Amino acid sequence: MHLIDRLKSRGWRLTAQRRAIADTFSGPSIHLTPEEVWVRARVAVPEVSQATVYNTLHELVRLGELREVDGLGRSRRYDPNTHAPHHHLLCDGCDRLVDVFPEGDLLASLPAASRHGFSGLQAEVVYRGTCPDCAPR
Amino acid sequence: MHLIDRLKSRGWRLTAQRRAIADTFSGPSIHLTPEEVWVRARVAVPEVSQATVYNTLHELVRLGELREVDGLGRSRRYDPNTHAPHHHLLCDGCDRLVDVFPEGDLLASLPAASRHGFSGLQAEVVYRGTCPDCAPR
DNA sequence: TTCCATGCAAAGTGTTTGCAATAAT
DNA sequence: ATTATTGCAAACACTTTGCATGGAA
C-alpha cells in the first residue's frame, strides 16, 4: 500500500498541501529539512505555509511514516526510511547524508558493566568523514 | 597543567568571568548547557552575561578544552572530557547523559562496501535507553 | 596605554502556537 | 453541515552579532 493510501485509511483528510508534502519524500535515501520540504512542496502548491509543513511532518512522524534525525546541523532532517533500521554517514565537508546498514550487533560494544543499569538500550551511530567530492586531491 | 594555566599560557586574558565559566567544568562526566553554565557562573560572578558565556564556550571548544555535543535536546551541551575518546548513554526519560567507553573497533561495523568512498571515518555513538530511576517497576 | 573582553540589546534562526477563514468529508 | 486543516502572524527558545564601555596586560 502506498503512503497516501495508508494515510487515508487512517482517517487523514487528504488536502493538496498534505499530498504535496508527502510527495517530497519519494525515494529511499532522502533527508530533507523542513525548509527544503517547504520549497519543494510549493512547486506543486504555491500557497502552502511553513506551519502546515511543520504540522504535517509531525503527523507523519507520529504515524511512523517519517523518522526525525537530529543533531546533524542547525535544522532537523526527516527520513522516509522507517522500514529498514539504519544509521547515517555524514560528510563533514558538504553535509551530505547517506543511509548505511552496519553489520553485527552494535550493542555488543557496550559491556554490561558500562550500562549503568540502563534498560531497553539501542545504539544510534553517526559515521563522520569526508566524501569523495570533498576529499582534497 | 591545570585548565586555567593552559589557557593563560595560550595568551588568554584571565578575567573573573572566564575563570567562573571554566570552573563550572570541574569533574569528569559533566554535560552542561550554556544556560546551566550561565546559572552556575553567576554564583561566582553575578554580572556575567549570556553573551560572554557563549563567547567563552566557543573559545574553549576552539582550544580543544571542551567538546560540543549536539542533538540530544533543544540545547547544546558541553563536555570537558576531551582527553579520553568516548561516547554517550542517554536516558529517554530524564535526559541524563553518561559517558561510556565502548570496547572494540566501532568502525569495523561498517564494511568497506558501505563506506561510499568516504575517508577519515569516525563513529559517534549515542546509546539510548531508560535509566534505573526512570524504569517502571 | 593598548586593545581584548564584556554587557547590553537587537537581530537572526528554526520552531511552535492561537485563531479566524477555508475546505474535505 | 461538521469539523479538521490551513495560512497568517505573533510568540518562542536558543544563539549570534554590533558596539560603546571597561579592565587585563
Dump pLDDT digits (tens) for A92-137.
Answer: 888 889 999 999 999 999 999 999 999 999 999 999 999 999 988 7
What's the Cα-to-Cα distance from A2 to each of A22, A89, B134, rounded to whole Å? 11, 28, 38
Q: Which residue is nearest to nucleotide C4 (CA to C1')?
A: B13
Distances (CA, A) of B115 to A94, A114, B81, B106, B133: 16, 29, 29, 13, 39
Contact B41, B48 (CB under 8 A): yes
Q: Any chain B CB within 8 A of the CB of A117?
A: yes
A54 CB neighbours strand C below 7 A? yes
> Tens digits of per-residue pLDDT, A14-51?
999 999 999 999 977 899 999 999 999 999 999 999 99
The C-alpha cell at B39 is 546559572
Spatial distance between the Cα atoms of A50 and A99, rounded to a whole number of angstroms: 27
pTM score:
0.90
- From the CA of A45, how many Å to the nearest CA of chain B? 31
Residues 6+ apart with CB under 8 A from A30: A24, A79, A80
Q: Say if the Cβ atoms of B72 and A71 lie within 8 Å.
A: yes
Given a contact cutoff of 8 angstroms between Cβ atoms, the answer to whether A41 and A31 are in contact is: no
Report the nearest residue to nucleotide D8, CA vs C1'. Answer: A49
A122 CA to C10 C1' in angstroms comes to: 43
Q: How far is CA B104 from CA A32, A49, B118, B128, in A?
A: 33, 48, 21, 19
Q: What is the band of A3 on the pLDDT scale with cuts at 50, 70, 90?
A: confident
List residue ranges whose Cβ is under 7 angstroms from nucleic strand D: A 12-13, 15, 17-18, 45, 47-52, 55-56; B 8, 13-16, 33-35, 50-51, 54-55, 58, 74-76
Beta strands in chain A (DSSP E): 67-69, 77-79, 87-91, 97-100, 119-130
